[in-house]
Chains A and B, each alone.
Chain A
Amino acid sequence: MTFFAEIFEGLRISWAAIRANRMRSVLTTLGVIIGVLTVTMMATAINGLNSAFQTSISIMGADVVYVQRFGWFMDRNEWLRSRNRREITMEQVRGVERQLTTAKAISPVAMTRKDLVYQRRNGGAVQIIGTTEKQVETGGLNMSQGRFFAAAEVEGARPVCVIGDDVATRMFPQESPLGRRLQVGDRTLEVVGVVEKRGRFLGMFSLDEVVFVPVTFFFNAYEQRPDLRIDVKVGSLAGIEDTREELIGIMRKLRKTPPGAPDDFAINQQEAFVQNFSKVGGTIAALGLFVTGLSLFVGGIGIMNIMFVSVSERTKEIGIRRAIGAKRRTILLQFLIESVLLCVMGGTIALLLSAPITLLVALFLPAALSPSIILIALAVSITTGVIAGFVPAHRASQMSPVDALRTE
């Protein structure tokens, strides 16, 4: 008997057996359905978060470092030690611009929140970023309308602004925003450009709810001496380390940090974010998969249990088949197929259920059901079936034909 014929016959027998015990099969499969469903949902969530993170990183550019007063990831002690650090001033930005040789572009960033008003439309508070024309490069900005403000406008502290995509659609739903006079805080500025849609960072906060103004205008209109961030576009990932070293030297000199004292500023980069995220994300993923794996394990135990029942119910049948010429392997395969079939049915139902649930979750969190997850879910079902079914199937195959025939 060929292997293929054995599998086909096994499928036929299993299907008949499952149909003959419909209620029992459904209840048993329920465990697998829940198991595979939770594992699939977990994998989908992890997957979604990962891809959201990747896109967020690429929006901001992976080869940009940020010189700031504080580090991104500081524990309590570091906070206490660094809370007295001095602000980063415009003079220091100018110093870096003058001295740094290994960077492609440098721009300062000052941030605040102000209310937007256009005619009688109140847009609420959005993020205001004071910067220079170099932000186009350091922030990786593309314009969908108009232009970014020019060096001369920064020089002259002109009342011009560039708005994010969300601001444009919200404040100017019917008309082109270009040339309109938008009230930002208590000043009125002319809109000269709109930045192309950039999406949400980690799917949470929008990068398009923003208004860019010349940093010089920012000083005059909003805050005189804000704490600045210096965005440095390195130009290549390989050059990040060199630029970092050079920046540390320049900043220490500019801030007159005493020799031997620790840096009183931080150079943040997205790689740190990536590492931190993958550490946290990896832990969450491992924990989540462990917990959901447990439910799959319980489902598998259910299958094993019912397979033991199935084997002992059909001992006579095993005896008959053996007498007629079925080999041990044939019997083993027959019961393995039954257990795998139960699990794959459960896995398929779980996938069918997870599709609408994923769509629902996607409304709140980045989540996507990818083909790889479908394949993994099916592979997990098959594996569960093989593992759960092996011991019962092996027991069935090792029965002596004489003893099996004698049972009633």
Chain B
Amino acid sequence: MSLIDIQRISRLYQMGTETIHALRDVSLQIQRGEYLAIMGPSGSGKSTLMNILGCLDTPSGGKFILNKSDVSGMDDNALSEIRNREIGFVFQSFNLLSRSTALQNVELPMIYAGVSKGERLERAMNALVAVGLGDRVHHRPNELSGGQRQRVAVARALVNKPSILLADEPTGNLDSKTGVEILALFEELASKGNTIIVVTHEEEVAQHSRRIVRLRDGLVAADEILHKNGSATTAASHAVPPIPVAAHSGPPPVPPGAH
């Protein structure tokens, strides 16, 4: 069974008298261990999809099954617990608490999970060492570089051993060299079996993943599996006819069955 099973979800926003269909009809299955990028121009609905995937928001219609439990009908309390246990967020602007040290930031998810003080410290230290910040644990965010801050964010996202690492433009605020380092960290995490979903509008970032889901106007426009040799195939399970990927700056589309 899929780790994430999204069935025909939609999301409407009421803007005055106007109804905006941020997501019209999206279905998506994601397996455990996948490294996936969600792409699309602004207004395509990718932020809305990310918010729903991250249980920060609930769909207006359809079903969202995460790790065998139906999330779409849960109340706020239950969603908070799901976010705490199942999801690790990495944001474009890092979103660390500025008055807390790196260690305290990484401890935070465990505080909400009710982990004891001793275990908290140990796990937070290990998580920071794992992202290469073992010597920076008592620094506050403003004493760290952008890349280091994002590493703290990754450590915080992973410390509760979530099912999904959900990254929203993780390299958007970083210079290209640091961005590559963070993407390398993602590769490493993916190779260790973590499920990673990156939401981005940068083709370059998306190319690091193994699968790209392209959204347009609240619908899935394309769903491609990337192969090591740089070619891509449309995912077989997908029902919507693919839109030519040539519109994007990525590699040329290859018709299914070419391999």
> Footprint of B on A, CB under 8 Å?
1-2, 5, 9, 16-17, 20, 316-317, 319-330, 400-402, 405
Find out whether the CB atom of A325 lies under 8 angstroms from the CB atom of B76.
no
Q: Is residue B54 within 8 Å, beta carbon to beta carbon, of the partner chain? A: yes
Q: Is residue B84 within 8 Å, beta carbon to beta carbon, of the partner chain? A: yes
Find out whether the CB atom of A323 lies under 8 angstroms from the CB atom of B99.
no
Q: List 12 A-B contacts (CB under 8 A).
A: A9-B111, A16-B100, A20-B99, A319-B95, A320-B95, A321-B112, A323-B54, A324-B112, A325-B80, A325-B83, A325-B85, A328-B80
15 A-B pairs besides A324-B156, A325-B160, A405-B91 with CB distance below 8 A are A1-B114, A5-B111, A16-B100, A17-B99, A317-B97, A323-B95, A325-B81, A325-B85, A325-B113, A326-B112, A327-B81, A329-B77, A400-B57, A401-B56, A401-B57
Contact among A16, A326, A330, A405 with B95 in the assembled complex (CB-CB below 8 Å)? A405
* Interface residues contributed by chain B, number (CB under 8 Å): 26
Find out whether the CB atom of B80 lies under 8 angstroms from the CB atom of A402.
no
Find out whether the CB atom of A2 lies under 8 angstroms from the CB atom of B83.
no
Contact among B56, B76, B91 with A327 in the assembled complex (CB-CB below 8 Å)? B76
Q: Is residue B7 within 8 Å, beta carbon to beta carbon, of the partner chain? A: no
Q: Is residue B38 within 8 Å, beta carbon to beta carbon, of the partner chain? A: no
Q: Is residue B59 within 8 Å, beta carbon to beta carbon, of the partner chain? A: no
Cβ–Cβ < 8 Å partners of B51 in chain A:
402
Take A1-B112, A5-B111 as given contacts and tell me if A327 and B80 are in contact as well, using a CB distance cutoff of 8 Å. Answer: yes
In chain B, residues 83-132, which have Cβ atoms closer than 8 Å to a Cβ of chain A? 83-85, 89, 91, 95-97, 99-100, 108-109, 111-114
Quote the shortest CB–CB distance from A400 to chain B (angstroms). Answer: 8
Cβ–Cβ < 8 Å partners of A328 in chain B:
76-77, 80
Cβ–Cβ < 8 Å partners of B114 in chain A:
1-2, 5
- Give the interface SS of chain A, mostly helix, strand, loop or mixed: helix
Cβ–Cβ < 8 Å partners of B111 in chain A:
1, 5, 9
In chain B, residues 176-216, which have Cβ atoms closer than 8 Å to a Cβ of chain A? none
Find out whether the CB atom of A324 lies under 8 angstroms from the CB atom of B89.
yes
A401 to B112 alpha-carbon distance, docked (Å)? 16
Q: Mark B66-77, 1 if CB is under 8 A from A, else 0.
A: 000000000011
Cβ–Cβ < 8 Å partners of A319 in chain B:
95
Cβ–Cβ < 8 Å partners of A321 in chain B:
108, 112
Contact among B95, B109, B112, B113 with A316 in the assembled complex (CB-CB below 8 Å)? B95
A319 to B56 alpha-carbon distance, docked (Å)? 10
* A406 nearest in chain B by CB position: B47
Q: Mark B34-59, 1 if CB is under 8 A from A, else 0.
A: 00000000000000000100101100
Find out whether the CB atom of B57 lies under 8 angstroms from the CB atom of A323.
no
Find out whether the CB atom of A325 lies under 8 angstroms from the CB atom of B112.
yes
Quote the shortest CB–CB distance from B257 to chain A (angstroms). Answer: 40
Find out whether the CB atom of A324 lies under 8 angstroms from the CB atom of B77.
no
Take A5-B111, A316-B95, A405-B95 as given contacts and tell me if A324 and B57 are in contact as well, using a CB distance cutoff of 8 Å. Answer: no
Find out whether the CB atom of B89 lies under 8 angstroms from the CB atom of A323.
yes
A317 to B81 alpha-carbon distance, docked (Å)? 18
Contact among A1, A2, A9, A405 with B56 in the assembled complex (CB-CB below 8 Å)? A405
Most buried by A among B80, B89, B100, B156: B80
Contact among A16, A325, A329 with B84 in the assembled complex (CB-CB below 8 Å)? A325
Cβ–Cβ < 8 Å partners of B160 in chain A:
325
Cβ–Cβ < 8 Å partners of A9 in chain B:
111
Find out whether the CB atom of A326 lies under 8 angstroms from the CB atom of B80.
yes
Cβ–Cβ < 8 Å partners of A320 in chain B:
95-97
A1 to B107 alpha-carbon distance, docked (Å)? 13
* A8 nearest in chain B by CB position: B111
Cβ–Cβ < 8 Å partners of B89 in chain A:
323-324
Contact among A16, A17, A20, A323 with B83 in the assembled complex (CB-CB below 8 Å)? A323
Quote the shortest CB–CB distance from B48 to chain A (angstroms). Answer: 9
A288 to B51 alpha-carbon distance, docked (Å)? 55
* B50 nearest in chain A by CB position: A402
10 smallest A-B Cβ distances: which pairs?
A325-B84, A325-B112, A327-B80, A1-B114, A401-B56, A320-B95, A324-B109, A402-B56, A325-B83, A323-B89
A322 to B77 alpha-carbon distance, docked (Å)? 10
Find out whether the CB atom of B84 lies under 8 angstroms from the CB atom of A324.
yes
* A324 nearest in chain B by CB position: B109
* B85 nearest in chain A by CB position: A325
Quote the shortest CB–CB distance from B76 to chain A (angstroms). Answer: 6
Cβ–Cβ < 8 Å partners of B91 in chain A:
405
A317 to B141 alpha-carbon distance, docked (Å)? 14
* B82 nearest in chain A by CB position: A325
Find out whether the CB atom of B57 lies under 8 angstroms from the CB atom of A402.
yes
Q: Mark B139-172, 1 if CB is under 8 A from A, else 0.
A: 0000000000000000010001000000000000
Cβ–Cβ < 8 Å partners of A16 in chain B:
99-100
Cβ–Cβ < 8 Å partners of A316 in chain B:
95
Contact among A2, A5, A322, A400 with B80 in the assembled complex (CB-CB below 8 Å)? A322
Cβ–Cβ < 8 Å partners of A405 in chain B:
56, 91, 95
Cβ–Cβ < 8 Å partners of A326 in chain B:
80, 112
* B96 nearest in chain A by CB position: A320
Cβ–Cβ < 8 Å partners of A5 in chain B:
111, 114
Cβ–Cβ < 8 Å partners of B100 in chain A:
16
A400 to B160 alpha-carbon distance, docked (Å)? 23
A9 to B114 alpha-carbon distance, docked (Å)? 11
Cβ–Cβ < 8 Å partners of B80 in chain A:
322, 325-328
Find out whether the CB atom of B56 lies under 8 angstroms from the CB atom of A324.
no
Cβ–Cβ < 8 Å partners of B109 in chain A:
324-325
Find out whether the CB atom of B56 lies under 8 angstroms from the CB atom of A323.
yes
Quote the shortest CB–CB distance from B193 to chain A (angstroms). Answer: 22
Quote the shortest CB–CB distance from A351 to chain B (angstroms). Answer: 30
Quote the shortest CB–CB distance from B13 to chain A (angstroms). Answer: 11
A172 to B99 alpha-carbon distance, docked (Å)? 73
Find out whether the CB atom of A324 lies under 8 angstroms from the CB atom of B99.
no
Cβ–Cβ < 8 Å partners of B83 in chain A:
322-325
